[in-house]
Amino acid sequence: MRAYSIDLRERVVAAAEGAMAHAEIAATFQVSEPTIRRWLRRKRLRGSLTPDVSPGRPAAITPAQRANLQAQLDAHPDAIVVWHADQWTQCHGTDLSRSTMSRAIRQMGWTRKKRP
């Protein structure tokens, strides 16, 4: 789920600081009362309403390694995904699954279709 926008957070906090009732704010902005309390606490403790970065697994192919993958794809455009994953493992020492390699290739704009 994506975080609420900073603009919405600021408007909700401004309404709460303007002595508007939490139930009324919740109905007006379509957020829950616990969310209002959480944003007020965050503003008071941190001084900012910016959301935290969502945790997640680090990318198997880092942005710095994208150029290496692009070079590999350019050198062997007709190779299958499994071959690209095996080649990546041999060159970089990190074992990638077929799915991971397939997602990385798709994110770079390549399709599974080969030359005509």
- Domain borders along the chain are 6-46, 63-107
The number of beta carbons lying within 10 Å of the beta carbon of residue 33 is 13
Q: State how far the Cα of 101 lies from the Cα of 81, in Å rounded to an integer.
A: 7
- Amino acid identity of residue 8, one-letter, is L
In order, the DSSP letters of 73-110 are HHH-TT--HHHHHHHHHHHHS----HHHHHHHHHHTT-
Tens of pLDDT, residue by residue over 50-77, are 998 878 888 888 888 999 999 999 999 8
> pTM for the full model?
0.55
Tens of pLDDT, residue by residue over 4-36, are 999 999 999 999 999 899 999 999 999 999 999
Q: State how far the Cα of 36 lies from the Cα of 42, in Å rounded to an integer.
A: 10
